[in-house]
């Protein structure tokens, strides 16, 4: 539910930014900045209320995974975080360049671009709910793998067509999978290490995501300056998301192999004790 805020913010910006731009660019940035400050103050006020008793009880009763730590599945965790970093690269074109790509490079105008940003926001509102339903149906791992495939396809759509339907599908599905993959990655890591270890690990995953996003933003801006077109950036992002999907699959294979080796070790241990 928390991640639906991403979509609500996109919907709000799609509604007010075109109006503000008619006033001035300075008024647009100033208003968005004030809204961010207001959101931060509201969040801070609620966070100061403290941790709920339920959260305390969950933190005080670690699961089996968190009791043993995540040393045994460290490689699995690193692969999932690596996929999450690739996701940060993959969504840069739709969050940074999508509106300008439609409005200016393809001469569709600000109103058409704002419509697509609104559809993007609607997708982002629905994304966490879709991710939750997907995880309940197929599990965290398969849900995350599916989300990477869907997002890779949606990011790549503008390379092949810019028809209204294609734009809308791309906007909605990328919007949905941005918070969707965040939620699914968080759930997958919690499944691997338990809720107690998840707190620290999620901070590390978020740092990796932010670093990859920053590097991708600067790099893609430089590539655009060189090529003079946004189109290749969508293809690059699709490839990055496909690579993320492969890392998610690989993480499952590594996890299964480690579980198999652990079972073999346990069997040998008990067999040895039985002989003694």
At residue 68, the pLDDT reads 46
What are the tens digits of pLDDT across the range 38-92? 999 998 988 887 666 655 555 554 444 444 444 557 889 999 999 999 999 999 9
Q: Are 159 and 43 in contact (CB under 8 A)?
A: no
At residue 69, the pLDDT reads 44
At residue 84, the pLDDT reads 97
Average pLDDT, the chain: 87
pTM: 0.82
């Amino acid at each position: 539910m928390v991640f639906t805020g991403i979509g609500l913010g996109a919907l709000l910006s799609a509604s007010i930014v075109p109006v503000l731009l008619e006033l001035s660019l300075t008024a647009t940035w100033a208003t968005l900045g004030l809204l961010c400050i207001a959101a931060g103050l509201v969040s801070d006020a609620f966070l100061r209320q403290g941790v709920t008793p339920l959260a305390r009880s969950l933190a005080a009763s670690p699961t089996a995974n968190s009791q043993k730590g995540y040393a045994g599945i460290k490689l699995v965790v690193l692969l999932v975080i690596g996929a999450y970093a690739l996701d940060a690269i993959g969504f840069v074109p739709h969050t940074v360049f999508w509106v300008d790509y439609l409005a200016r490079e393809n001469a569709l105008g600000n109103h058409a671009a704002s419509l697509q940003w609104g559809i993007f926001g609607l997708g982002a509102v629905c994304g966490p709910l879709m991710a939750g339903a997907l995880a309940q149906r197929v599990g965290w791992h398969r849900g995350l793998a599916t989300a990477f495939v869907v997002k890779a396809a949606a990011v790549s759509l503008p390379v092949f067509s810019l028809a209204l339907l294609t734009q809308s599908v791309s906007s909605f599905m990328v919007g949905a999978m941005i918070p969707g993959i965040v939620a699914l990655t968080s759930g997958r890591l919690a499944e691997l290490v338990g809720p107690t270890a998840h707190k620290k690990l999620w901070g590390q995953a978020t740092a990796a995501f932010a670093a990859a996003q920053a590097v991708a933003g600067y790099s893609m801006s430089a590539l655009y300056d060189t090529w003079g077109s946004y189109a290749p950036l969508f293809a690059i992002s699709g490839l990055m998301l496909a690579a993320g999907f492969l890392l998610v699959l690989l993480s499952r294979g590594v996890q299964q192999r480690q579980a198999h080796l652990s079972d073999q070790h346990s069997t040998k241990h008990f067999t040895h004790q039985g002989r003694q």
